[in-house]
Structure formats: structure tokens, C-alpha cells
Amino acid sequence: MGIIILPEDLLVEILKRVPVKSLCRFRCVSTLWRSLISDPRFVDAHLAHSAGHPKLVISLPSQPDPGPPGRCFFTATHSEPGNDQPQIVASPYFFVPGTACSYVSQSLSGLICFQVDGHVGVCNPSTGKHIALRTARANVAGECAYLHYSFGFDPVGKRHKVLSTLATCRRPMPADLRQVIMEHRVLDLGSEEWRRIEDGPPHIKKESEICFNGLIYYRAWNGNVTNPRQDYLVEFDVGTERFRMVKFPGDNGPRGGHRKVCLIEFEGRVAVADLRNLKRDGSDDIVLLISEDFEREIWRKKVIALPPSWKEILAAEEVFLAGTVGTGELLLASQIMMKPQRVFYYNPKTNSFRWIEISGLPEYKKLLPPAVWQTFTHHVESLLPLESLHDRQLHHT
């Protein structure tokens, strides 16, 4: 039998359905395959196909004993609506050594930003590659400094960017006269230099961000001396690199725990999800404040009354809102890492929920701290090579 040579377009159709780890091995088949798999057009085609088959990536701190400290990434296939399978299996995906910080971004076009040993890095869990970025810290000797990072993707320019916000509070200064001085810097992945952004509003980032449609959103403390306790919602346009900041809607009170009030994407808009009524006053509802007009601060309130069976779940464990998935469902997880770990999918359109157990995660000698150490993200596999991001950006300009 002679050698069968497939047309290149047919080969592309076949290979774009293959997992990234297999494609990385297939680069060694021939020079033609290596060139094809590395072609930015094929990388985009594979990413587009993978978008229809997303995964769930779970990030946890490793146990320093007996192994080295670091952050572990696990992957699992998303449970689909209508699937009665009560359990999914997580498998090790990626490991970053070092003292793990709590910051892990959502997955954006296959890349995840994180902090380890006080430094920021970016990884592609699918290829097993990661890069450490130069620090953006300035000289702030003698002052109280808060350095936070955010991760964003500009879908128009095909650019991943890291935003650094350095807030310094001058000392000594009375609490009621607090003044925050900001330094905003941006790093294009593939570049080595942080660029200074002028005219950014003074604020201190409070929690992890969300990014969609080229916009980063996060909650922050106001840096204005006239109202230092007011919470604000910050919007950063990844493409134009401009800020907007409005008052955070709803109650800023301290009741509720970590991630009981958080930001999500809801029907293409930024929304504030409030879970503080759950297991508190018997109302068993989720309150959504959905942005109708960000600049004019117009919000639409949507109250989601959960089904009665939810009470049985809440009687056993506390949950936090881990984000949303491509089906429009809200993803909730247990506040404390238990074995097996349970994840809940809630559909606000049909007012229905389902839950699954995740096996294959490490067994800890003691319960992990609250959700600050656990992250869940909706992940699409990507072949994007970190070492050639700058060339890729030029290709799309």
C-alpha cells in the first residue's frame, strides 16, 4: 500500500480537534507538521474549535510536606447540562514551584496569570509552559504600599496585558485624611518594559478581577480623602488603556464572608452577585445588580429565588460563587476544601441546579483556608506559545 498524503486543509480539520499536549508531540512528526501546528492561523483555528469544548481548571496550593511548595493546577471536563454523571475526575495539569500567593486570574484565551514568591507570572497550562515577568514595584521606602496585578485580553488587537496598580499611602497621616498616590503600569506579554499610564484614578484593588469583551472589572477602595470608606467599581479598557470608576452598587456593609459579594459576567454585562442571603434569613435567594449603563451608574436588580431543595445543600456547607461557565450557569463551590470536593451549577434562566463531585484532587492533612486559596476557571485549551507573543501581536496589528 502506498503512502497516503492528506490535503493540507483536511489535515488542519483533523488536527484542530486534537488536544494540545498531543499536538506538542506531533510537532516532531515532520518539518511540515511542525510548521503547520506552529502557524498562528492554525493556533487561532484550534482555539476556536476548543471554545466549544471548554474545561474546568482548579488551582490549589501544594502541600509543602513531603513535596516542594507551589501552586497546582488540575483540569477536569465540564459537566454538561442533562448529564446524570455525578462525578468527574480531575487530573494534574501544571505545577508552579514557590510560595503560592492567593492571586490566580481567570483563564483568558488559554493563558492564566498568577503570583508565586511575590512575583507575577503567566502560564499556558495546556503546553505546560510559564514565564516570570519583571516586577513593576517602584521605590516606596518609608511609605505603606499596596501592589496588585490584573490580567486582561484585548480581542481586537489579540493582546494579553498585565495591569499593575501600585497605591502608596504617605505616613504619618491621620486615618481621616488618608491620601493615596497611584502608579498604573501595563505590560504587553511579549514585551519586557512596563509602560506608565497617566491620569488613572486613585484606588486600592480589593479582590480579583474579571475580564470579558476587552474590559477588566474589579472592586476597589476609594483613594479620595473625602470619602475613604466608599467602595468603587473600576473598569479598565485593555485596548485603549483607559480607566472609568463608579460607586459600587448596593450595600457596602461588612456582613457576609469572602466571595459572598462578587463580580460576574451576566448576559454580556458586568453584574454584582450577592449571596449573603443564603443560609442567613431564610430567603434563599441570589441578588444580581446588572449594569445597564456603566457611566450613568444605572443598575437593574434581578432577584433569583432558589428552589426549595437548595436548603438541603446549604444545611451541610457554605458555598462561594466561583464564576460563570459558557452555558450561562453560575458556578459555585464549597468554601472549605473537602474530599470529595463538590461543585454546583445553577441556571438562573430555568431556576434549576445540579451538582457533581470532583475526584482526583489531593487529600490535605487539614482543611484548607476559605476560598481565597481555591480558584476555579472556565478554560479553553490553546497552543499559544509564550515565547513568541510579541511576534504574534505584530502579526495581528
Look at residue 275 and tell me whether its pLDDT is greater than 60. Answer: yes
Look at residue 153 and tell me whether its pLDDT is greater than 90. Answer: yes
Is residue 86 reached through a cis peptide bond, with omega within 30 degrees of 0 on the bond before it? no
Strand bridging mode 341-347 / 352-359: antiparallel
The mean pLDDT value for 198-216 works out to: 89
Candidate from 35-49, 204-218, 357-371 with smallest mean pLDDT:
357-371
Ranges 42-46, 130-134, 144-148, 312-316, most confident: 42-46
- φ, ψ at 36 (rounded to 5°): -65, -45
The mean pLDDT value for 335-359 works out to: 78
Q: How far is CA 251 from CA 74, 248, 268, 276, in A?
A: 35, 8, 23, 11
Question: Of the candidates 186, 148, 51, 188, which has an alpha carbon nearest to the alpha carbon of residue 107?
Answer: 51
- DSSP β-bridge partners for residue 108: 111
The mean pLDDT value for 351-365 works out to: 78
Kindly report the pTM of this predicted structure.
0.87
Look at residue 278 and tell me whether its pLDDT is greater than 50. Answer: yes
Residue 194 C-alpha cell reads as 512596563
Going by pLDDT thresholds of 50, 70 and 90, the confidence category of residue 29 is confident
For the stretch 79-105, pLDDT in tens is 666 655 567 788 888 888 877 677 899
Whose cell is 431543595? That residue is: 309
Look at residue 292 and tell me whether its pLDDT is greater than 90. Answer: yes
The letter for the amino acid at 232 is: Y
Ranges 98-107, 352-361, 374-383, most confident: 374-383
Residues 115, 96 contacting (CB under 8 angstroms): no
> What pLDDT score does 305 carry?
79
> What pLDDT score does 193 carry?
86
Look at residue 211 and tell me whether its pLDDT is greater than 90. Answer: yes
